[in-house]
Each structure stands twice: as structure tokens, then as C-alpha cells.
Amino acid sequence: MTPTAVSSVYVHAPFCVRRCPYCDFAVQVRRVGDVEGWLAALAGELRAVEREGLFVAADRIRTVYVGGGTPSLLGPTAMEGVAALLGRERLGDALEEWTAEANPESLTKSVAAAWRRAGVDRLSIGIQSFHEPTLRWMGRRHGAEGAETAVRVARAAGFENLSVDLIFALPASTGRSWRDDLERTLALDAPHVSLYGLSVEPATPLGRAVAEGREHPVDEERYREEYLEAVAALEGAGYVHYEVSNFARPGWEAVHNSVYWDGSPYLGLGNGAHSFAPPVRRWNVRDWNTYRERTLLDRSPEESREVVTDGAEALEAIWLGLRTRRGLSEEGLGTSGAALAAAWEARGLATRNDGRVRLTAEGWVVLDHLVVELSEVVAP
Ligand code: SF4
């Protein structure tokens, strides 16, 4: 098999100071990130990847995304380490975007300045809320002023390309005003905003609290109202709603994420990371210690893989197309699919223009449901 050349790389940084009660990501709780252990483990994985021959890093890398976890917990030297790991010579002129995630409490001046020097040109800051009791409920360590401070620190270090993450659909018990959080987010004037609805995973403290009746998640109507309120506020302020969860000022759309939405190949390094070398999708073990033990011996941390079949690929194409502003070609949907799209349009869930079907914000509220509906008639 000829190795797939990848020019987009995701690197997972697993450490968090504590686990937020709703989080089921591949996270290792540590007060201080182990940057040396992390880089050594990633280097071991990269050697195993090269030996295996499924992927080969392209001579020129286009996009890098360091996510977590809390990458900023790894401190100032982390991104220079990532550059050395991937090869400085590969991160030259062709590099279109290098994003790193940061949480407000660990985005210090020295972290921001060192990351910028290392070549990171986009920061994704997990602000989530400006409401102190909500931040405490979420287990976050930054205070109500944390977001503004983080954005100031980032800009002072030379970052123009900033994205901020906000969470919605939190239980009413938090007492959070969604309107206030939206207004303070707009005041940050970041060129990119990502919006995530709280999802209750059964194997988390929040999931258990909900099962025991100690917490009450919002109902579908409240979820819909908050989402639509955010869409109206952000679009009213000039942001383009270009993907179900993402908003950007024109020209500031995330480049790396579009790789996932286009079905392009990518390499994911780190515990729990996924990679895609069409038609093979593979993912690593989630547990940091297991990942580390294997990679330090240059063994592959792969947990499993699947070959994406034609049927699964068609389903995925529907899902990826509907979640972005790109939409789907109406012609490719056949008679039954086009009839369904027309019915969605009549219900305000989609538009049909220029031969393409695109979901509206109302449609994106029920995206998963619409994907299933369409796949039943187009890719049964
Ligand atoms: S900071 Fe993010 S990754 Fe870390 S525990 Fe909280 S939600 Fe999970």
C-alpha cells in the first residue's frame, strides 16, 4: 500500500488541571503538564507511524491543530517542541494555519509570546462563559474576567486570529444569562466564535447527577432558543455562520477544521487521536498511561481501525455536507432526496439555491435527525 501523504496534523495534549464534570475527552488530570514526557511519547508515535507505512508526513505541512485537554498547561516550550517534532523544514511557507487551544487561566504572557515565536498563528480560547457561578459549576478555574484578560494577552503577543469557545444549553440551576454571555463575547471582537451545546454523557459526573435527578438538563425547546439567539446575535454582528457550530468574520474561517469537513486525509497524534487515510480511519488508545507506555517503546498506540465502506462514505458525505454552509448538490440526491429537501424548505429547515441544499439555523438545530431522514432515502 502506498502511504498517504498528510499535510494536516492534529496533536492531542491530554493534560487538564481537573476534569470538568461533563467532560468525556481523553484527559489526564495533572496540576502541571508534563511537556517532556508528552513530546517523547509523540516522537515515539511518529516513529511507529513512519515504520507502519500508512501515512507519510508531506514535505510541506498545511495545517496543524494542537487541541486537548489543555495545551496551555504544557507551558511556553510546548509549541517549539511540536515544531521540532514535525520538522521545522516542513512548517515553512506552505503552512496556512497553526492553531493551539488555550484556557484563560494558563494562557500567560510568556506562553502566548513563546507560542507565537514558535509559529502558532491562531489561538482557540476556551472561555465558555463570563458568569462566575457558571464557571464554578463547570469546574473551570478562570474567573469572570478571564476571557477578556486572555484575549488581551493573546493580542499583545501578536495573535490576530483568535477563536473563542462558548457553551450553551446549561442547566437553569447555574443562573447564567445567555444574553449577557453573548454580549460580552461580541465585545471581545474575536474574528471567530465556536458554539457548543452541553451534551450529557452517561459516564461523567454530570451524567450520573442527571440520572439521579440531581441535575436537570435543558429541554429541546430551550436548547433551540439559545442556539437561535446566538445565531441571530452573531450574524447581526457580521459573523458568517459557516458550519453548524462555527461563526467567522469573512476570511477568518478555520482552515484545519475544513479538512475534516471535506473528507481529506489527516494524521492525529496523541492519546485518543483519530487519523484518516482514505478509506482507513483509525484511532489511538484513549488512556494516557497506556499510550505513553506503548509509544516510548516505539510501538503503535493504535486501538482500532475501520475501512470506510462505500455506504458509510455516502452517509458521511451527507452528514459533512449538511453541517457546512457548502451544503449538498441537489442533483446528487435523486428524486426522493430532492423531494425531501423541498419538504425541509417548506418547513424552514433548508434552502435550495444554485442547485444546492443548505440547512438553515432551524435545520441545524435538528441536524442529526435530518441526516438520518435523508440517508434513509439517499443511501439506504
Ligand atoms: S478543560 Fe476541556 S478537556 Fe479539560 S476537562 Fe474540561 S472540558 Fe475536558
Q: How far is the CA of 100 from the centre of ligand 1 (A)?
A: 14
3-state secondary structure of 70: coil
Place of cell 457548502: 326
Q: 187 CB contacts (<8 Å, ≥6 apart)? A: none
Question: Which residue has its alpha carbon closest to ligand 1 atom 2?
Answer: 69
Q: Which atom of ligand 1 is nearest to the CA of 19?
A: 5
Nearest CA to ligand 1 atom 8: 23
Distance 202 CA to ligand 1 centre (A): 16
Q: Give 28-37 pLDDT, tens digit per residue.
A: 999 888 999 9
| Residue 325, SS3 per DSSP | coil
- Residue 15's pLDDT is 96
CB atoms within 10 A of CB 354: 9
Q: Calculate how far, in angstroms, residue 184's C-alpha sits from the geometric centre of ligand 1.
A: 22
Indicate the DSSP class of residue 59. Answer: S
Residue 195 CA to residue 318 CA, distance in Å, equals 22
Mutate to test the pocket of ligand 1, among 12, 16, 31 (most ligand atoms within 8 A of CB): 16
Q: Which residues sit with their C-beta closer than 6 Å to ligand 1?
A: 16, 19-20, 23, 25, 27, 68-70, 103
All three cell numbers of 241: 455562520
Helices (H) and strands (E) in the chain — how many of each?
14, 19
Atom 7 of ligand 1, residue of closest alpha carbon:
23
Q: Give the residue carrying C-alpha cell 477578556.
A: 148
Residues in the chain predicted with pLDDT less than 50, given as ranges, are none
- What is the atom index within ligand 1 of the atom nearest the CA of 139? 6
Q: How far is the CA of 71 from the centre of ligand 1 (A)?
A: 11
For residues 193 and 239, is the Cβ–Cβ distance under 8 A? yes
Contact 306/224 with Cβ under 8 angstroms? no
Which residues, 6 or more positions from 50, have their beta carbon under 8 angstroms from its beta carbon? 56
CA of 325 to the centre of ligand 1 (A): 28
Pairing of strands 8-13, 267-269: parallel
Mutational test site, ligand 1, from 70, 73, 140, max ligand atoms within 8 Å of CB:
70
The protein residue with its alpha carbon nearest to ligand 1, atom 5, reads: 19
Distance (Å, whole) CA 120 – CA 150: 16
Residue 7: what pLDDT? 92
Ligand 1 atom nearest to CA at 68? 3
| Ligand 1 centroid, distance to 253 Cα (angstroms) | 24
Give CA separation, 255 vs 7, 62, 260, 275, 363, in Å.
12, 9, 10, 17, 24
**What's the 17 CA to ligand 1 centre distance in angstroms?**
9
Residue 87 grid cell = 520538522
**Ligand 1 atom at minimal distance to the Cα of residue 103:** 1
* pLDDT, position 142: 86
Q: Provide the CB-side half-sphere exposure for 40 (13 A, CA).
A: 10
The pLDDT, as a whole number, for residue 215 is 92
Write down the pLDDT at residue 5.
83
CATH fold group of domain 4-261: TIM Barrel (3.20.20)
Domain ranges of the chain: 4-261, 311-378
Q: What is the pLDDT of residues 200-251, one digit of tens each?
A: 999 999 999 999 999 999 999 999 999 999 999 999 999 999 999 999 999 9
Cell of 233: 446575535
**Closest ligand 1 atom, CA of 22?**
7
- Kindly give the distance from the C-alpha atom of residue 169 to the centroid of ligand 1, in angstroms, as a whole number: 17
